[in-house]
Amino acid sequence: MSGLLDRKLLFVTGKGGVGKTTVAAALGLLASERGKRVLVCEVDPKGDVAGALEAEASGFVPREVAPGLFVMEMDTEASLREYLRLNLRVPTVGRIGPVARAFDFVASAAPGVREILTVGKLCYEVREGRYDLVVVDAATTGTIVGQLAAPVGINELVKVGAVRSQTRWMLDILDDRATTGVCIVTTPEEMPVNEAMDLAARLESETAVHLAALVANRVMPELFSRSEQEVFDALSGAGRPAALASALGDAGDAAVSAVLDAAELAVRIRRSGAAHLERLRDALDRSLPLLYVPYLFGRAHGVRAVRRVAESLAEELGG
Amino acid sequence: MTPRRAPSPVDELVASREIVVACGPGGVGKTTTAAALGATAAVRSGAKVLVLTVDPARRLADALRVEGIGNTASRVPAAAFTAAGARAKGELWAAMLDTKQSWDALVRRHAPDRATADQILANPLYQNVTGRFAQSHEYIAMERLYEIHAEGEYDLVVVDTPPTRNALDFLDAPQRMAEFFASGLLRWLVAPSRSRLVSIASRPFYQIADRILGTQFLGDVAEFFLLFQSMYDGFVTRARAVSALMRDPRTTFMVVTTLEAVPALEARQFVAALGERRLHLGLLVANKVLPASFSDPDAAAVAESFESRAHEVAGVLARGEGPELADATLVAQVLQEVGRSFANFERVARREAELLASMSRSHEVTATVPHLRGDVVDLSGLLEIGRHVFGAPG
């Protein structure tokens, strides 16, 4: 299963709010700690990989935030400039300026251009091989298909010219299972799981990219074994909170009930989550890894949280 | 916990507002809350209510268990309310934004003639803009809202907003659309296909563009913009009207969030952005809030005793509470587990309470929805949320 980090390009996506950025940062951190040179690229404008790692915000130029771990932010105009400089030897910034503006303009009404500049830059980094792994904090489930489908779309639209030949090699990178994969992050809740299932189907039918793994984030730990559950049910039964209160001596019934309520909530969340993850498991190829990351009761963001998530992922991935 | 009664209950809302725009960070239950508001309004008032979801994923359909809703609204059957133990005085309708269909309708409306409309619809670029690629949702969502409002079919339209790049991108979409069509750059861009004369100034662009994109694609681009320009007046007028509707006193915004750090911060940014734009904030909803009893110091003391005095307490129970609790070792384990579990939730509950207090201080209109029993899967779940948000029987 550690094959996940042996790929060259990993898109991390999921419904908004499931912890996509944290998981992307954790995968990057884990791979870098295993000796890989890793680039984590922020594509989702709402994401903040650098922030999650509590590093200073980076720009289009990658910055090393930990040994072997580089962070960059996608910027389509900068990507275009780089493309023009590398491919067409357009020399001066002065001349690129208005061109880029015009392109930005075209891109705002003829989307696909923006998407291709994003995906193109990522594929370019893979082809250049300056990093062992590129992890993308990608767009949410709603928009990632549009992004990943852009090379296919452009390839159909543009019959000749440099872009046509450019999309060909991108598709070769994206289509190769050993090189590129998508990692869908979900929480064990109804809507995120529905979207994960939807997205898995759309990835296969509309894009060249393949699903590599699923991450179930914020999974509530199993509180009780079966025999413990029976005891707990008995403890919460009629009259029992009062018996507990008197056994404790100076406690009130309401306080005892609140404590029992919290455990009941944990059990309930755990059960409903397990049912949703079961649904997800059933809908997908059994051979796909489904990685569990436990709910963090402590601070759920920042570098400590990222490290905790990375540790859980390491356990799940093995090796 | 006692739900806080919102100062603008649903009756008042239906009486004074025609549009409620639900916004907020992703994953906080925005769509569900929007649907809950719609369902509650339909039950409580005689209003005809539409819930319009604009998200590409079919969330509302899931929550309402309505199969295959599209751009055409469908009515949630009265039987669904009966099954949920409620009786709707009004009507609840639901619709899902179909981006492609909405764009087509827009082109048909604004194109100078049928032939131009057909040409635009057949342009490969147009088809990709509306079909395959992301980002055309934002404008069309607000445009569709305007359309529905103008048709006057509904007393109240509750619209769910797409997760956008920036907090209130969708609000700026009409303005950006107007600027786009009004821009001289657009005219400059389409100049060659119009006059076949390429000015000196634009030559480098075309040379480079031609090398990158190829002449045929560039031709498609030019045709696309040229054709779109024929719709200039209609589009700009419309985009301005859409903007005006957002600021109209009949429109209000409902910001939905959870009390986790990141969503709560984003929600505050939403609230601030609304203020800057002088848009009306009708309600700030904190979703999935832990009960106040989870941060009660007495309960925390009990949880602590469960951990530290587990064996002593289990011993007492084993002597007096019958066979299920006879195994003192097992009971002690459970007590410790329960104590630890409470301590975990207590940390979260304290963080939440602090955030909620600071939100309530700065905004009068806060409502809380507790962690409900299980997921919201049907109308009765939506109505239960409605009861919490609006503090009234459903």
What's the sign of the alpha-carbon dihedral B161, B166, B171, B174?
negative
Residue A242 at interface with chain B, using a CB cutoff of 8 Å:
no
pLDDT the model gives residue B56: 43
Query: pLDDT by residue (tens digit) across B23-60?
Result: 888 778 888 888 899 999 999 888 999 998 865 445 55
A247/B221 Cβ within 8 A: no
Most confident of A190-194, A225-229, A299-303, B129-133: A225-229
Tracing tokens 């079909």 back to the chain, one arrives at B131
Closest CA to A11 of A195, A173, A190, A156: A173
| N residues, chain B | 394
pLDDT the model gives residue B198: 45
Partners of A208 in the β-ladder: none
Domain enclosing residue A28, as ranges: 2-221+285-317
Q: Is residue A273 part of a domain?
A: no
Q: Which residue has the higher pLDDT, A186 or B16?
A: A186
Q: Which residue has the higher pLDDT, B360 or A247?
A: A247
pLDDT the model gives residue B333: 95
Identify the band that residue B393 occupies on the pLDDT scale cut at 50, 70 and 90.
very low
Name the residue in chain B with its Cα closest to that of A202.
B57
Residue A161 at interface with chain B, using a CB cutoff of 8 Å:
yes
pLDDT the model gives residue A265: 92
pLDDT the model gives residue B240: 81
Residue B160: half-sphere exposure toward Cβ, Cα within 13 Å = 32
Query: pLDDT by residue (tens digit) across A116-175?
Result: 888 989 999 999 999 999 999 998 877 788 788 877 777 776 666 666 777 788 889 999
Among A84, A160, A191, select the one facing B208 at the smallest CB separation: A84
A232/B333 Cβ within 8 A: no
A16/B25 Cβ within 8 A: yes
pLDDT the model gives residue B203: 54
Choose from A73, A259, A299 for mutation: most chain B CBs within 10 A.
A259
Taking residues B292-309, what's their average pLDDT? Answer: 94
Residue B133 at interface with chain A, using a CB cutoff of 8 Å:
yes
Among A244, A262, A299, select the one facing B342 at the smallest CB separation: A262
Looking at the structure of chain A, the number of domains it has is 1
Q: Is residue A50 part of a domain?
A: yes
Residue A313 has pLDDT above 80, yes or no: yes
Q: Which residue has the higher pLDDT, B132 or A50?
A: A50
**Non-local CB neighbours of B5 within 8 Å, separated by 6+ positions:** B391, B392
Token pair, residue A33, equals 């700690």
Q: Cα–Cα distance between A51 and A21 in angstroms, integer?
A: 10
**Non-local CB neighbours of B271 within 8 Å, separated by 6+ positions:** B255, B281, B284, B363
Q: What is the CA radius of gyration of chain A?
A: 23
Most confident of A306-310, B234-238, B352-356: A306-310
Q: Cα–Cα distance between A137 and B1 in angstroms, integer?
A: 38
Identify the band that residue B101 occupies on the pLDDT scale cut at 50, 70 and 90.
confident
Most confident of A64-73, B19-28, B115-124, B182-191: A64-73
Distance from CA of A58 to the nearest CA of B (A): 18
Q: Is residue A256 part of a domain?
A: no
Q: Calculate what percentage of chain B has a pLDDT beyond 70.
A: 71
Q: Which residue has the higher pLDDT, B109 or B227?
A: B109
B204/A106 Cβ within 8 A: no
B180/A15 Cβ within 8 A: no
Residue B99 at interface with chain A, using a CB cutoff of 8 Å:
no
Q: What is the SS3 string spanning chain B?
A: CCCCCCCCCHHHHHHHCCEEEEECCCCCCHHHHHHHHHHHHHHHCCCEEEEEECCCCCHHHHHHCCCCCCCCCEECCHHHHHHCCCCCCCEEEEEECCHHHHHHHHHHHHCCCHHHHHHHHHCHHHHHHHCCCCCCHHHHHHHHHHHHHHHCCCCEEEEECCCCCCCCHHHHHHHHHHHHHHCHHHHHHHHHHHHCCCCCCCHHHHHHHHHHHCHHHHHHHHHHHHHHHCCHHHHHHHHHHHHHHHHCCCEEEEEEEECCHHHHHHHHHHHHHHHHCCCCEEEEEEEEECCHHHHCHHHHHHHHHHHHCHHHHHHHHHHHCCHHHCCHHHHHHHHHHHHHHHHHHHHHHHHHHHHHHHHHHHCCCEEEEECCCCCCCCHHHHHHHHHHHHCCCC
Q: What is the SS3 string spanning A228-267?
A: HHHHHHHHHCCCHHHHHHHHHCCCCHHHHHHHHHHHHHHH
A297/B344 Cβ within 8 A: yes
Phi and psi, residue A188, nearest 5°: -80, 60
Q: Which domain CATH number covers A121?
A: 3.40.50.300
Q: Which residues of B87-111 are buried (b: 16+ CB within 10 A; e: fewer)?
A: ebebbbbbbbbbbeebbbbbbeebb
Token pair, residue A106, equals 């075209």
Taking residues A89-103, what's their average pLDDT? Answer: 52
Query: pLDDT by residue (tens digit) across B158-212?
Result: 988 766 555 566 666 666 666 666 655 555 555 554 444 444 445 555 566 666 5
pLDDT the model gives residue B171: 67
| N residues, chain A | 319
Mean pLDDT, all residues of chain B: 78
Query: pLDDT by residue (tens digit) across B377-386?
Result: 678 888 888 8
pLDDT the model gives residue B200: 43
pLDDT the model gives residue A235: 92
pLDDT the model gives residue B136: 58
Residue A181 has pLDDT above 60, yes or no: yes
**Non-local CB neighbours of B224 within 8 Å, separated by 6+ positions:** A109, A110, B120, B123, B125, B126
Q: Is residue A98 part of a domain?
A: yes
pLDDT the model gives residue A231: 94
A256/B163 Cβ within 8 A: no
CA distances from B52 to A296, B23, B131, B218, B362 (A): 35, 13, 20, 37, 30
Query: pLDDT by residue (tens digit) across A230-283?
Result: 999 999 988 888 999 999 988 889 999 999 999 999 999 999 899 999 999 999
Residue A272 at interface with chain B, using a CB cutoff of 8 Å:
yes
Taking residues A35-60, what's their average pLDDT? Answer: 89
Taking residues B220-237, what's their average pLDDT? Answer: 73
pLDDT the model gives residue B166: 54
Note whether ipTM > 0.90 here: no
pLDDT the model gives residue B120: 84
Which of chain A's residues have a Cβ under 8 Å away from the Cβ of B330?
227-228, 231
Q: Which CATH number fits domain B10-290+371-390: 3.40.50.300, 3.20.20.70, 3.40.710.10, 3.40.470.10?
A: 3.40.50.300
Residue B114 at interface with chain A, using a CB cutoff of 8 Å:
no
Phi and psi, residue A56, nearest 5°: -65, 140
Q: Cα–Cα distance between B394 and B43 in angstroms, integer?
A: 7
Residue B232 at interface with chain A, using a CB cutoff of 8 Å:
no
Q: Calculate what percentage of chain A has a pLDDT beyond 70.
A: 88
Q: Cα–Cα distance between B380 and B386 in angstroms, integer?
A: 10
What's the sign of the alpha-carbon dihedral A278, A283, A286, A288?
negative
Q: Where do the domains of chain B lie?
A: 10-290+371-390, 294-350
Residue B134 has pLDDT above 70, yes or no: no
Single-letter residue type at A237 = G
What's the sign of the alpha-carbon dihedral A269, A274, A280, A285?
positive
Residue B157 has pLDDT above 80, yes or no: yes
Query: pLDDT by residue (tens digit) across B72-92?
Result: 888 888 888 898 889 989 999
Among A17, A160, A189, select the one facing B263 at the smallest CB separation: A17
Identify the band that residue B248 occupies on the pLDDT scale cut at 50, 70 and 90.
very high
Q: Does an H or E element contain A268, and which?
A: helix A253-283
Which of chain A's residues have a Cβ under 8 Å away from the Cβ of B289?
none
pLDDT the model gives residue A278: 95
Q: Cα–Cα distance between B345 and A264 in angstroms, integer?
A: 11
pLDDT the model gives residue B139: 72
pLDDT the model gives residue A101: 54
Q: Which residue has the higher pLDDT, A227 or A78?
A: A227
Taking residues B212-235, what's their average pLDDT? Answer: 69
